[in-house]
């Protein structure tokens, strides 16, 4: 397999408006955001939706090992760093400039004990290793909002193979883009049907979750209880996400099954 360049470069722009700093890859497309007064918070709706994965397992210290493909402004990394102190993270980012920008302008922590950052293609990393993770989050796009090799059946199969028994996989998809249905089908195939596509956020981003060995089977009431507990400890309010899920996603007997 031909490896993709680990030195991919594209224009990176930063804008700021009403106290929010934005990351762009050479276009108006927002690749990340941070409220300057609250750098640890999740500013964009879809990043909050991705943290719904924290509600899918019971242990308060889960995940212990997380993999994040795509760094952007570092929002997901910073949230886990602050609110899951036992979590060790591996981050894969193809563009070395993004790491520098995230550290200089978006307060990405410099803590090699807890955060290991690899510069390279996420697909190559997944297909070329064997370490396991409790949580895998994929949020990688180029300047034209294309996921490229991060949206292929072999990549999704590799993600499943890299999950621990209790592992959860989450990916940011663009629900308004052509090819969305094919992306969902690939995830469904890679995880043998153990996947769920959450309702789109206001921006059109859609988060899909999947499991490997151990399925998720949770009552809606339990999801809400866990969301309330997470809000108390982190100020992250996932109750609106659960309400959207309840209105738009089929949950027989009031249970979320993934």
Sheet containing 65-69: give its strands across.
115-119, 88-93, 65-69, 133-138, 163-174, 205-211, 195-197
**What tokens were used for 83?**
């609110």
pTM beyond cutoff 0.75? yes
For 129-181, write each residue's pLDDT tens digit.
Answer: 889 999 999 998 755 567 778 999 999 999 999 999 999 999 999 765 678 89
In the Cβ-directed half-sphere of 43, how many Cα atoms lie within 13 Å?
24
Buried b (16+ CB within 10 A) or exposed e, 111-133: eeeebebbbbbbbbbbbeeeeeb
Closest by CA to 206, choosing from 236, 242, 180, is 180
For 192-208, write each residue's pLDDT tens digit.
Answer: 999 999 988 887 889 99
H/E stretch holding 164: strand 163-174
Res 1 pLDDT > 90 = no
Domain spans, the chain: 13-249
What would the CATH number be for the domain defined by 13-249?
3.40.50.150
For 230-246, write each residue's pLDDT tens digit.
Answer: 999 999 999 999 999 98
């Amino acid at each position: 397999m031909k490896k993709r360049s680990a030195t991919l470069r594209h224009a990176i722009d930063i804008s700021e408006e009403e106290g929010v700093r934005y990351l762009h890859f050479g276009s108006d497309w927002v690749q990340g955001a941070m409220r300057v007064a609250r750098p640890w918070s999740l500013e964009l709706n879809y990043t909050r939706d991705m943290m719904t994965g924290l509600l899918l397992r019971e242990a308060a210290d889960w995940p212990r090992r997380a993999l994040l493909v795509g760094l952007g402004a570092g929002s997901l990394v910073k949230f886990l760093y602050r609110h899951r102190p036992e979590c060790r993270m591996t981050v894969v980012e193809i563009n070395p400039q993004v790491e520098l920008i995230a550290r200089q302008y978006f307060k990405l922590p410099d803590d090699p004990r807890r955060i290991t950052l690899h510069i390279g293609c996420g697909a190559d990393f997944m297909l070329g290793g064997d370490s396991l993770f409790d949580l895998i989050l994929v949020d990688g796009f180029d300047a034209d909002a294309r996921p490229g090799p991060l949206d292929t059946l072999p990549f999704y199969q590799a993600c499943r193979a890299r999950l621990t028994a209790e592992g959860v996989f989450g990916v940011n998809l663009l629900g308004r883009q052509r090819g969305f249905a094919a992306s969902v089908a690939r995830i469904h195939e890679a995880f043998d049907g153990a996947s769920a596509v959450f309702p789109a956020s206001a921006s059109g981003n859609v988060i899909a979750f999947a499991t490997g060995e151990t399925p998720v089977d949770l009552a809606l009431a339990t999801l809400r209880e866990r969301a309330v507990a997470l809000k108390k400890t982190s100020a992250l309010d996932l109750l609106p996400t659960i309400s959207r899920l309840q209105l738009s996603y089929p949950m027989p007997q009031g249970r979320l099954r993934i």
